[in-house]
Structure 1
Amino acid sequence: MFGGRNLLIATKHRKETVIAPLFSDAFGVHCFISDEIDTDSLGTFSGEIARKKNTIETLRDKCDLAHKTVGADLVVASEGTFGPHPTLFFAHADDEWMMLKDYRNNLEIVVREISTETNFYGDNINNIRDLEAFAFKVQFPSHGIILKPAEKNFSKIVKNIQDREELQQHFNSMMNEFGTAYAETDMRAMYNPTRMKVIEKVTNKLITKIKTACPVCDYPGFDVSEIKAGLPCNNCLLPTRSTLSHIYQCKNCNHTKEKKYPRNIHYEDPMYCDHCNP
């Protein structure tokens, strides 16, 4: 389905350095990028252009923008969000999503990777000592820093900072002009090697999902569409809220398959049972 075709990677932040080799090796596609595509128009990490839609819709818009602008019929795009981990308290997370859209075959495949491996951080900076401490915390200069007057003040934004002398100069200029300064990690992939590693993980996950074909029609992307709870308690044997099975479904022929005990356990610990441990 993909061999020999051109794959457009919808990015302006050099994600192709990770994505292109993996997809080329896996599917024999010819990867390319285009300067005509401005993915920042759909939202920026620094906040001056707000992202108006959720992650899936934004990903779809990225692919559609690439498809309409360049005319490519095979597109891959990724989108990351950063903030509190959805389940781990007091932990920051990089929540990366990636989508492949094949317009020729009406195919859309999406994967997600949540990682605590992130240097996402922002803080008000009042002096050079605080600036140096912030820079050390976010692994500067291998990882970039963005400066602006305040977290929600976008009247002046300095990006692409990867030099200590330049960082101090821009900080002094910001303080002289506004009397305040806010520093944040530059989360754009090309200035953030830590994030680029997570993008590599989500790329591999997408490749694995694409290669998982439907056992009936051989269509790619045969994956979990539903998670069924009800794993029995080891003590009372009543169903718990823990996962009993995964339901796989083909997007092409709608063939479904249930795989029980995806965690390789047949009974749940009574501590997770609402009857034994209400």
Structure 2
Amino acid sequence: MFEGRKLLIATQHGKEKIIAPVLEKEFGVTCIVNQEFDTDSLGTFSGEMERKNDVITTLRKKCLSALQYYQCDLVIASEGSFGAHPSVFFIPANEEHLMLLDLENNLEIVANVLSTSTNFNGTYINSEEELIEFSSTAQFPSHGLILKSNETNFSKCYKGITNKEELKLKFNEILNSFGKVFVETDMRACYNPTRMKVIEQTTYQLVEKIKNKCPLCKTPGFEIKEVTRGLPCNLCNSPTQSVLSVNYHCKKCLHKETKLFPNTKQYEDPMYCDYCNP
């Protein structure tokens, strides 16, 4: 379905270095990189441009907007978000989404990965000692930093800093003018190798989704849409929160299929049972 076709990667932040080699090898596409559409117009991590839509809507807009500049009908786009982990609130997390949009075959496939592997952080500081401490924790200079006069005010904002001399120079410039500095990790992929690795993981997950074809119509992206919990406890046989079955759906022919025991076990350990281990 994809072999020999052009695949547009809608990015301005170097993600093609991770995405292109994987997809060219797996599917025989020829990747080209967006040079025209400003992907930052849909939102920036540093806050100048707020992301107004949910992740999937933003991805779809990014794909379609980038395609307007190219004679191409196959595109992929990435979108990341950062914040507290949804279940372990004191740990920062990075969630990455990748969307493959194929206009020729009316196909949309999305993969996502939630990872605690991130240096995401930001705080106010007012001394070089605090700056050095923050930069060390943030894995600077291999990971870029952003300096701002205020977390939400951009009268002074320097991005993509990866040089110690520049970091101190810009820090003292803002400090002398405003009395404090907001320092944060630059989460753009080209300045954040840790995030790049999560995007790479998401790319491989997308590959697996594409390879999983509908058993009836052979359309790629036969994916899990519903999860049923209730795997019985091995001791008391009560239902637990572990997954009992998953339902696969095909977007094209709407075929559905249920798979029992997707994690290859028919009973759960009592330690995960609300009755045996309340």
TM superposition score normalised by structure 2 = 0.96
1:132-211 correspondence runs (5 A): 132-211=132-211
1:45-60 correspondence runs (5 A): 45-60=45-60
3-state DSSP of counterpart to 2:152: coil
Cα deviations across residues 150-208 of structure 1 (Å, max 9, x unaligned)?
21122221012111000000001101121210100000000111111111110111011
Shift of 1:238: 3.5
TM superposition score normalised by structure 1 = 0.96
3-state DSSP of counterpart to 2:69: helix
Question: Aligned partners of 1:28, 1:72: CA distance in 2, in Å?
Answer: 16
Shift of 1:267: 1.6
Shift of 1:264: 2.0
Question: Aligned partners of 2:240, 2:129: CA distance in 1, in Å?
Answer: 53
1:31-46 correspondence runs (5 A): 31-46=31-46
- Asked whether the 8 Å contact 1:66–1:72 carries over to 2, the reply is no
- Asked whether the 8 Å contact 1:144–1:192 carries over to 2, the reply is yes
Per the alignment, residue 102 of structure 1 pairs with 102
Amino acid at match of 1:178: F
Cα deviations across residues 205-259 of structure 1 (Å, max 9, x unaligned)?
1011101111111110111111012212323323333210111111111222211
Question: Aligned partners of 1:264, 1:89: CA distance in 2, in Å?
Answer: 30
- Asked whether the 8 Å contact 1:233–1:270 carries over to 2, the reply is yes
3-state DSSP of counterpart to 2:68: helix
Question: Aligned partners of 2:35, 2:177: CA distance in 1, in Å?
Answer: 34
Per the alignment, residue 268 of structure 1 pairs with 268
The RMSD of aligned alpha carbons is: 1.4
Per the alignment, residue 230 of structure 1 pairs with 230
What residue ranges of structure 2 are gaps of 5+ in the alignment? Answer: none
Question: Aligned partners of 1:39, 1:174: CA distance in 2, in Å?
Answer: 28
Per the alignment, residue 19 of structure 1 pairs with 19
Per the alignment, residue 70 of structure 1 pairs with 70
Shift of 1:268: 2.5
Question: Aligned partners of 1:5, 1:136: CA distance in 2, in Å?
Answer: 44
Shift of 1:3: 0.6
Question: Aligned partners of 1:124, 1:256: CA distance in 2, in Å?
Answer: 52
Question: Aligned partners of 1:238, 1:123: CA distance in 2, in Å?
Answer: 47
Cα deviations across residues 99-133 of structure 1 (Å, max 9, x unaligned)?
00001111000011111111111111111111111
Question: Aligned partners of 1:34, 1:56: CA distance in 2, in Å?
Answer: 19
Q: Percent identity?
A: 56
Amino acid at match of 1:33: V
Select between 262-271 and 97-106 the one with higher mean Cα deviation: 262-271
Q: Is 1:251 matched up with 2:251? A: yes
Amino acid at match of 1:105: N
3-state DSSP of counterpart to 2:203: helix
Q: Is 1:2 matched up with 2:2? A: yes
Question: Aligned partners of 2:235, 2:161: CA distance in 1, in Å?
Answer: 58
